[in-house]
Every structure is written in structure tokens, then in C-alpha cells.
Amino acid sequence: MSVAPIPVAVSAPPAVALAGVGKTFGAGPAGTRAVTDVDLTVAAGEFVSLIGPSGCGKSTLLRIVANLIDPTEGTVLVNGKPARQARLDQDYGIAFQQAGLLEWRTVRANVELPLALHGDGRAARRARAEELLELVGLSDFAGHRPSELSGGMQQRVAIARALARRPALLLMDEPFGALDEMTRERMQSELIGICAETQAAVVFVTHSIPEAVYLSQRVVVMSPRPGRITEIVDVPLGTRDEEVREAGRFYAAITDVREALRGRPVPSAEASR
């Protein structure tokens, strides 16, 4: 189902490689089939969104990649390693819909947390946290508590925290879902910039079609009961900037994804095959 090209000489392993992945919650006939028959490859440095209605298994799939839950069948490789090993090696950074900051720690200490748990020295941690807070534009808030920050600022701290160990893969589960539309668009633009700078691959779960289209090189369209991939839409938009949001090809791509979500044939996707 995946249309990712298979390079002959592999310089870097794909960020994510899923083959025949399925997940059933509960056992026996009462079990719920959450995800079935998923094949997906995310190249190093690629930005891929998972989109679909509630219950299509997109968050479950992300958690399988993160090894927060185990798949019932199939193989999951992250950076060429089994998912469990990748988690133990902290090969990925993760951000959720809730920022999930530790409210008793300062902003700086929250960003330093993954570094501290990895055993990095105090000076190295401090330097990296300064760098990351600079990247997300929160240098002035390093000493503040999370409760003193707005929702968008908290989410930026969470993203900085996810980036702390320079992961080659960033997993994001509706990180902007709780933000207002204005903040959301600004955060999207910032994320594009951050990805360009860090060269990280991203798997991004979202409900929003414009968000998926604006951010991604490919949009993976999923449908529920049982959760599966129905379509993978290429988004050939080139460099993302604010003008892209107004461009005709942006709306064309949105239409593509929308029709794929409705299960209609997609002209451009068919043409590319």
C-alpha cells in the first residue's frame, strides 16, 4: 500500500518501517480490532501526517511506533531497530495533545528532564536547554513555572522537551489540538522551521485537513472499524511559507485529502501511480 520508493543504497535507515501491523485490544471474540494490516515507511527526515476520523486508530498506531503499546502482529522498526530497542535508546521524541509538563519544575528543568534521565551533566543540560528555548522562542521564560505560561507556550516547551536529545524521529499526537486557530497556525509555521533545522522525521497525528496538508510531504488517510490505511496522498507543495496557505495548489491538496477521507477516487493519486 505504501508508495515510498525503495532506495538501492540506503544511507540512513527509514525513520519508521511498519509491516503487517495490527492491534486488537482485549482477547477472544470480545476483543476490539483497533488497527489492522498497516504497512508504512517514513523516510529519514520526512514529515508524514496520520489523519482520519475518531476511532480510526491513528493514535494507537503512533503509540505502537513509540512502543508505548505492543502490536498484536506485524513488525515495527524505528531507525532500523525494533521499536522496543529504539524506545530504550530514546531514539524518538514525543509530544501529546496535553503538554504534560511537570508543574513543579521550571520551564528549563522540564526541557532538561530527558537529558537528566539520560545522565547528561549539569552544564551540558543547561546549555542544551538554553539552545532549545531559544529555538522555540521562550528564552525569557526559562525560570517560570508551567502554570504561568499560556497553552501555546506550554506546548512549545513540550516540543522543546521532545527535541532535547536530538532525536531523528519526532512523534506528535495532536500537539496543537487544544490551541486556538491563530496560535495553531503560528505553531505550525514554527514546527516547519524547527524540522528544517533539526532534520528530524515527523509522524504527526491530527484531525485537521489543512494542518496535515500544510505540514506534510505525505498524508496518510485512515478509516475506522477496523482502523486501517485507505490512502496515502502526496502533497507536492514545495517550500512552506505563509503564501502557501493562500495558494490554489494548497486548496487542491486539501480537496485531495478530503476526498480520500470520504473514500472517493482521488484523481491526482491515481495519476501518480
Binding positions for another protein, rule: CB under 8 A: 63, 66, 68, 87-88, 90, 92, 94, 96, 98, 100, 102-104, 113-114, 117-118, 145, 147-148
Nearer to another protein, 103 or 140 (CB): 103
Closest approach of another protein to the CB of residue 261, in Å: 27
Nearer to another protein, 66 or 76 (CB): 66
H-state helical runs in the chain: 58-65, 83-88, 107-118, 122-135, 151-163, 181-198, 209-215, 248-262, 267-271
Nearer to another protein, 23 or 63 (CB): 63
Closest approach of another protein to the CB of residue 86, in Å: 10
Nearer to another protein, 71 or 114 (CB): 114
Closest approach of another protein to the CB of residue 197, in Å: 22
Nearer to another protein, 96 or 214 (CB): 96
* CA-to-CA dists, residue 244 to 156, 192, 237, 258, angstroms: 23, 13, 8, 18
Nearer to another protein, 54 or 239 (CB): 54
Omega cis (within 30) before 226: yes
Closest approach of another protein to the CB of residue 68, in Å: 5
Closest approach of another protein to the CB of residue 11, in Å: 27
Question: CA-CA distance, 256 to 70, in Å (whole number)?
Answer: 32
With 0-12 / 13-18 / 19 or more C-beta atoms within 10 angstroms meaning exposed / middle / buried, residue 221 is: buried
Give the DSSP H/E element, type plus range, for residue 228: strand 228-234
Closest approach of another protein to the CB of residue 113, in Å: 7
- The region, left, alpha or beta by phi > 0 then psi within -120 to 50, assigned to residue 124 is alpha
The 3-state DSSP class for residue 11 equals coil
Tell me the β-bridge partners of 47: 202
- Under a CB-based contact definition with an 8 Å cutoff, are residues 57 and 135 in contact? no
